[in-house]
Structure formats: structure tokens, C-alpha cells
Amino acid sequence: MCGINGIYKFSGNSYNPNLIAKMNDALAQRGPDAQGVFSDDHIFLGHRRLAILDPNEQSNQPFKSNDGRYVMVFNGEIYNFKSIKAELTDYPFRTESDTEVVLAAYIKYGENCLRLFNGMFAFAIWDTVDKTLFIARDRLGIKPLYYVLNNDEIIFSSSIKSILATDLIDRKISEDGLVDYLRYQTVHAPYTILNGVFALMPGQQITLSEEHEPRFKKYWSPTKDYYKASNSVSEVQTQVQNKLSESVERRLISDVPFGAFLSGGIDSSIIVALMSQQHDQKIDTFSVAFKEEKFSEAQFARQVAEQYKTNHHEIELGVDEFKDLIPTAFKFMDHPSGDGLNTFVVSKKTKEAGVKMALSGLGGDELFGGYSIFNQVPNLQAKKWLYSFPVYMRKPMGILNHTFKGTIESAKIKEILKSPTFDLEYIYQYYRQVAMDDQVTGLLKTNKLPESRVLRDTHELIGFNKEGWALPALSRISVAEMTTYMQNVLLRDADQMSMANGLELRVPFLDHELVSYVLGIRDEIKKPITAKKLLVDSFQHLIPEEVHNRKKMGFVLPYETWMKEELKSFCEERLNELKKIPYFRNNGIDNYWKQFLNNNKRVTWSRIWPLVSLGDWVKENGITG
């Protein structure tokens, strides 16, 4: 696991070589074990290394092919690199690393090498002869890759902070990106919060050269690269067991100590159970235990740890400890987010215990239907009598309901009832929305907002008459979850907060072979009568009954109480930073904060914390507006 950097000047390099050193320094936490640079007349490449496989110096990067023609910087892990290596008999390998396998596969197969890799990755390969640059990102977007592209150059990195360190771009917020952030506590790829800075999409590649326009290509898509599963329930359960077990086994390959995050929920409990079956030694497990008992899942994590005799580390967290950690966590937040601090806490303690790699249950909810939307959307679409009412009749129903209840949920229902249809993309855009549009316009100096990017993206992927329409209905919800909330919140936060502590995080539920299989399972088999029923039925013999029968809590911190008491001044200082950004209404921010303090049902802590995070990020990175 590492961090990569690069500047490719198409017409010839004219920059000071110190620029790539600055980029490397800005992501030092991603790779504390080694660093390196490469440069020629056209390109700078930089690398910081966190050594997990083959920690010897000969595997350090930038990595050159034996003949010196190709130079690569690579971030990630290829779990099936040994089987790929066995097929590359004509390449004279000199290391035991997956890095060299990636380069050798590219030399033999070109861009088609991407279809061979099972793993998480972002990499760039420079051809010193043809003067071409090839960049690619993994299928599910587990590893990040940001870039700035103009007519004469591309600047790319694992980190936005590294791009900012070059001082080659303006530190300006994107107005549309800001609207996206306020709506969804994130900015959806390929866009970011900054003007001109983009994220390479999951499953996407770029080829660049001086002679040709940059060529973008999508090599994998969840709506295309899936296959229909069996109609037999028992066979499907067996396949789910086998594929997840194989996924965990692949992710246990490591030359350093490893462990697992154990929240006490279904997903992480299954991962720990499978790890314990496949590994001879005790597994180190880590969980957060809150002093505020109603937020704590500690008792369930203990049960799983006791059943599998893990070396369990329980991190007790109170407000004082949390307050001390927030400034450090925010400092390493590469892109602002309304989430992620919980991952920072458990990652920090995991690394302090001597563990450099850990497995997580991230992705289980999105793939197997762990969220309420997997029931809510089918239930709403089954209410055919609502379809008989035209929009002008449905609209007053929503307004009346919201006037009576005044909650964020009733505000979302009001918007859904105004939708032209109840197709998934129209419903889903509101499910993950944090601030509703009237709240966004109250914060910003504009009354005209752009179209929801979530609506645009889900319509493109799974909308009616699109290829994604062929997917089973529940799988279309999974695709919506994976390509919006999971990729742009959960995975981004998991990467930036774990790598802030020099910890590699692996996610077995996002093995693309497992994902491709589960997306093809019929709704009748996957139907979530209870949360993640198919997953629970497949693995209930491995986890305590109390774990799979309990009410889902989620892994959250008790912000609501803390922000109104011990963290009140901390929040206010960061909200005031936003008043320096010309897009904001100062009185809008003040009113929003007052509504939260006065227990307004529509302004909960999860509506305010993204603004606190953004305010800190703006100040930390010198953003001027």
C-alpha cells in the first residue's frame, strides 16, 4: 500500500525537480517505509511506500522493467499476483512483489492486463520509448486517483494535498461541487470539491501521449460485468459461502502482521469467523467501545472475539479522547467528508498495536441489502394507487405531511411525491441526501441549484431503458449504493483515515468476483425480509445468534451530545471559517447552527458535522473561495 504522484508535461518537462519531492512529502503518511522519484525530459514520477508484500528494497518504486523501457508507480495490492506470475514464464522476475507482476503483465498484454487483476489499485506506467503514459484504477474504486488535466500536462496523485503542494493550480472551490457536498456530505466522482481537480472513475483507465488526445476507457462496470446466478437457494448460498471465503483467503496474503476491525455487526463478524478458520494463529481484532453505553456495540464484538478466541483490543472512547484526536484526523483528511473519524480512531489503535494491515466488513450492507432502502423502495413502488394521482395532486399530500411532522424524513417524502415517476433514480436521490435543497439555498447565495449528481449518475447506470435495467431490482439498488455513497463516502474515508495512520485496509466484500455474482442473484432469493437475509442464512452457523438477530445500530459516534456541549466552541470556530468563502451566506450558516442547537428536527448533527469538517479543511488547505 502506498501513495503515487506524477507530472507529465506533453511537450517536454520544464518544472523544477523539487516539485515531485514536495508531492511525495505531502503524502508521507501513506508510505512511511520508503520513497523514490524518477524523471526524464517529459515526466516526473514519485512514490511513497508502505511495505506489505516483499518488503525488500529491490521492490521499492518507481519500479523499472528489466530493460529500463517501462517505469511504474503502483498503489494497492493484487491478491492473485502469484497465479498471474506463473503464466508470465518469459519475464525474468527479480522480486517477489505484486508490483513487478503488474508491470510484466502490462508489458505482455497491454491494457488488457487489467482484466487479470483481482485486487485494489491505482497505478501509472510510463513508456520511455513511445512517450506514453497509462493510468488505471481498480473496479470498485477502493484506491483513489486524483488528477488535473489540461492541454499540455496531467498532474496526478493518490492525494489532493499532493496536487495542491505543487502550487500549479488555484485553490478554488467548485460551486457545483459545493452544492453536491452540502446535499450529500461528499462530492461524487469524477468531480471533487476543487475547481479543475478530478477523480479517475472506478474501473476506468487513461492513455496519454503528446500526439493524441487523452483516451479514457471504462474497462469494468457493475451493470455490464455480472452474471446470472442459479435459481436454487441452496446453490446460491453455497456459492456465496465459497466466494466470500475465497475472497478472505486472498486477502490474508501478507508479509507483515495483520488483524481485523470487529464492530460486532454481521459483516465484520463473518469476516473474523472466516479469517479464524483460515489462519492458524490468533487473529488480532479491534473495536471501539463508547463510554456512552447506548452507542456501544462492544458486547457483541466481545461475543464474536470469545467464540473465535481472537486477541481482542477494545478501544474505550469518551469525549476527551475524541477531542484530542479530531485535529489530527482533520489534518489528514484529503477531501472533506461528513464521516470517517471513527475509522481514524480504530485505525490509529490498530497500528499502535503493531498491525500494518487489517480486514474490514465494508461493502456487506451495499451488496446484500443491509439498509432500509432495500425495503423502502420496493414497498413504495408496490403502492400502485399512488401512481394514479397526477403530480399536482400528490404535491399537496407531501406538503401537508411535512407541515405536520417537520422531520428530515417527511421533507424527503415531500420531494418524492413531487417526482414525475417512482422509478428508482428519482426516489434514490433523496435517500442519501443530507441537506435538502431549500436548506442548501438557505446556506448559499443562490436560489438556482444544479441537477442532483446522484440523480444523473443513477439514471445513467440503472435508469429505465438503460443497460442496468436488466439487473434484478434489488441489485439496481445495490449499484446505486455502491456507485454513490459507498465509493464517494465510505471508501474514500476508509482510505484516507486508515492511510493517515500507515495502515492498509482490505475489504473482502468488494472482491469483484463476489460482487459480479451477487448482483446477478434473483430478488426472490435475496429479498431482505430481515437485513441481509441471504448473507445471514449463508453464514449463520458461524456467528452468534445474538449478533445476527439484533437490531442494526451502525458504527457512529455520539456527536449529537458532544457537539452541543464539549465540542460546541470547536464547531463554531470551523463554521466561522466558511464565512470567508464567498458562496456562503453568513446569516445562513448562523441560522443553521441555531436550528441545530434548538433541536430542530430537520437539522440533526449529521447535517452540521459536514460543515464543520469543510470549515476545517478550507483553513488547513488555504482554500480562498
Arithmetic mean of pLDDT, 188-217: 95
Residue 115 to residue 113: CA distance in whole angstroms: 5
pLDDT at site 293 = 59
Arithmetic mean of pLDDT, 148-170: 95
pLDDT exceeds 80 at position 147: yes
Find cell 463554521 and name the residue: 575
**Catalytic residue check, 571:** no
User: In what helix (H) or strand (E) does residue 534 lie, and over which residues does it extend?
Assistant: helix 533-539
Residue 524 to residue 52: CA distance in whole angstroms: 42
For residue range 363-415, list pLDDT tens digits in order: 999 999 999 999 988 888 777 667 667 777 787 787 887 778 888 888 888 88
For residue 457, what are the contacts with CB-CB under 8 A and spacing of at least 6? 188, 483, 484
Smallest CA-to-CA distance from 111 within 224, 220, 2, 190 is with 220
Q: Which three cell numbers stand for residue 256?
A: 507483515
Contact 126, 72 (CB under 8 A): yes
Contact 120, 76 (CB under 8 A): yes
pLDDT exceeds 90 at position 111: yes
Instruction: Tell whether omega for the bond before 222 is within 30 degrees of 0, i.e. cis.
Output: no
Strands (E), 492-574: 504-506
For residue 132, what are the contacts with CB-CB under 8 A and spacing of at least 6? 126, 207, 208, 209
Kindly list the distances between the CA atom of residue 592 and the CA atoms of 445, 582, 597, 607, in Å, as whole numbers in the listed order: 14, 17, 9, 9
The residues that bridge with 198 in the sheet, in sequence order, are: 147, 191
Classify the phi-psi angles of 514: left when phi > 0, otherwise alpha if psi is within -120 to 50, otherwise beta. alpha
pLDDT exceeds 60 at position 73: yes
Q: Is 183 helix (H, G, I), strand (E, B) or coil?
A: helix
Residue 526 to residue 534: CA distance in whole angstroms: 5
Contact 271, 361 (CB under 8 A): yes
Contact 181, 26 (CB under 8 A): no
Question: What is the CATH topology of the domain spanning 2-218?
Answer: Glutamine Phosphoribosylpyrophosphate, subunit 1, domain 1 (3.60.20)
Residue 268 to residue 364: CA distance in whole angstroms: 9
Residue 118 to residue 317: CA distance in whole angstroms: 36
For residue range 473-523, list pLDDT tens digits in order: 999 999 999 999 999 999 999 999 999 999 999 999 999 999 999 999 999
Smallest CA-to-CA distance from 82 within 116, 114, 59, 36 is with 116
Arithmetic mean of pLDDT, 298-319: 87
pLDDT exceeds 70 at position 313: yes
Instruction: Name the band, by pLDDT with cuts 50, 70 and 90, for residue 230.
Output: confident
Instruction: Name the band, by pLDDT with cuts 50, 70 and 90, for residue 298.
Output: confident
φ and ψ of 50, to 5 deg: -110, 105
pLDDT exceeds 60 at position 554: no
Arithmetic mean of pLDDT, 147-165: 95
For residue range 240-290, list pLDDT tens digits in order: 999 999 999 999 988 788 999 998 889 999 999 999 999 888 999 998 876
% pLDDT > 70, the chain: 95
Q: How far apart are the first and last CA of the chain?
A: 33
pLDDT at site 54 = 62
Q: What is the mean pLDDT of the chain?
A: 90
DSSP 83: H
Among the listed residues 2, 160, 304, 424, the single catalytic one is 2
pLDDT at site 211 = 81
For residue 184, what are the contacts with CB-CB under 8 A and spacing of at least 6? 432, 433, 434, 453, 454, 484, 485, 488, 489
pLDDT exceeds 80 at position 553: no
Residue 139 to residue 511: CA distance in whole angstroms: 9
Smallest CA-to-CA distance from 98 within 254, 300, 244 is with 254
pLDDT at site 478 = 96
**Of the listed ranges 10-14, 93-97, 161-165, 615-619, the one predicted with least confidence:** 10-14
Instruction: Please say whether the dihedral angle defined by the alpha carbons of residues 342, 343, 346 and 347, taken in this order, is positive or negative.
Output: negative
Classify the phi-psi angles of 242: left when phi > 0, otherwise alpha if psi is within -120 to 50, otherwise beta. alpha
594: how many CB neighbours lie within 10 A of its CB? 11
Q: Which three cell numbers stand for residue 414?
A: 415531500
Q: Which three cell numbers stand for residue 556?
A: 457512529
Smallest CA-to-CA distance from 346 within 303, 304, 299, 313 is with 313
pLDDT at site 255 = 78
Domain regions of the chain by residue span: 2-218, 233-369+482-549, 373-479, 559-620
pLDDT at site 387 = 67
Arithmetic mean of pLDDT, 286-300: 71
DSSP 244: H
Residue 4 to residue 155: CA distance in whole angstroms: 11
Top mean-pLDDT range of 55-69, 167-181, 282-296, 393-407 = 167-181
Arithmetic mean of pLDDT, 417-428: 84
Residue 257 to residue 358: CA distance in whole angstroms: 9
Rounded to the nearest 10 degrees, the angle between the axes of helix 373-382 and helix 424-431 is: 140
CATH number (3.40.50.300, 3.30.1490.100, 3.30.750.24, 3.40.50.620) of 233-369+482-549 reads: 3.40.50.620
**Of the listed ranges 27-31, 51-55, 160-164, 348-352, the one predicted with least confidence:** 51-55
pLDDT at site 414 = 86
| Cα-based angle 504, 510, 514 (whole degrees, multiple of 5) | 140
Smallest CA-to-CA distance from 178 within 520, 546, 453, 548 is with 453
Q: 3-state SS string over 539-608?
A: HCCCCCHHHHHCCCCCCCCCHHHHHHCCCHHHHHHHHHHHHHCCCECHHHHHHHHHHHHCCCCCCCHHHH
For residue range 346-356, list pLDDT tens digits in order: 899 899 989 99
Find cell 440533526 and name the residue: 604
Residue 260 to residue 312: CA distance in whole angstroms: 10
pLDDT at site 165 = 95
pLDDT at site 30 = 85
pLDDT at site 291 = 64
pLDDT exceeds 80 at position 319: no
